[in-house]
């Protein structure tokens, strides 16, 4: 008769684990999956700002001037890639700041340019990807030096923001 309880116990365990792993193993597997999912979500949140900076490639025009339609510019910085005549790649951004002024600057600064990390935007601030300093968008082209974005001279001609290729060429040392 003593064998009977052991058999019942074995049968109960078999029935309990009929669908696979013991409950503790299942819980550990679910915990690992939850951690992986959380890590994926965290990576998305951290890097999504950078993904929004997908660059627009500016083709070289006959005049060398870069013309950006004003209708493309808003409070969100728009990043552009530009290739100089010697095939050197440069990056800059343009936006319409909260004070209504169209602004443009290199995606680099005097202090952190060597890191080649540029900026991203948080609200109405441009933020250095290297040191984390914030710069209000209305200060782009107004405040110079340090970790402020390097200003690009620009003018409005009709319905376009115009940046001269020679002004980019003059700042190529930042890239």
The least confident of 3-17, 25-39, 84-98 is 3-17
Residue 166 confidence (pLDDT) above 60 = yes
Q: Tens of pLDDT along 47-63? A: 444 434 444 555 445 56
Work out the pLDDT band at 94, boundaries 50, 70, 90: very high
Work out the pLDDT band at 13, boundaries 50, 70, 90: low
Q: Tens of pLDDT along 99-157? A: 999 999 999 988 888 888 889 999 999 999 988 889 888 889 888 878 889 999 999 99
> Which residues partner with 125 through β-bridges?
122, 136
The larger pLDDT score, comparing residue 171 to residue 38, is at: 171
The full DSSP string for the chain is: -THHHHHHHHHHHHHHTTTSS-HHHHHHHHHHHHHHHHHHHHHHHHHHHHHTTPPEEEPPPSS-EEEEEGGG-SSS-EEEEEE-TTS-EEEEEEEE-TTS-EEEEEEEETTTGGG---EEEETTEEEETTT--EEEGGGTTTS-STTSEEE---EEETTEEEEEHHHHHTTGGG-
pTM recorded for the entire structure: 0.64
């Amino acid at each position: 008769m003593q064998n009977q309880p052991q058999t019942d116990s074995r049968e109960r365990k078999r029935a309990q684990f009929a669908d696979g792993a013991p409950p503790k193993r299942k819980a550990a597997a679910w915990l690992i999956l939850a951690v992986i999912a959380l890590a994926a979500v965290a990576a998305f949140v951290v890097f999504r700002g950078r993904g929004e900076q997908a660059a627009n490639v500016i083709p070289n025009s006959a005049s060398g001037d870069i013309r950006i339609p004003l209708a493309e510019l808003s409070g969100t910085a728009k990043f552009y890639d530009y290739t100089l005549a010697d095939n050197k790649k440069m990056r800059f951004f343009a936006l319409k700041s909260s004070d209504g002024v169209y602004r443009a600057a290199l995606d680099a600064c005097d202090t952190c340019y060597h890191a080649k990390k540029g900026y991203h935007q948080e609200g109405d601030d441009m933020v250095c990807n290297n040191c984390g300093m914030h710069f209000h968008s209305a200060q782009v082209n107004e405040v110079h030096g340090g970790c402020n974005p390097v200003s690009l001279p620009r003018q409005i001609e009709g319905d376009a923001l115009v940046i001269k290729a020679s002004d980019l060429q003059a700042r190529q040392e930042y890239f």
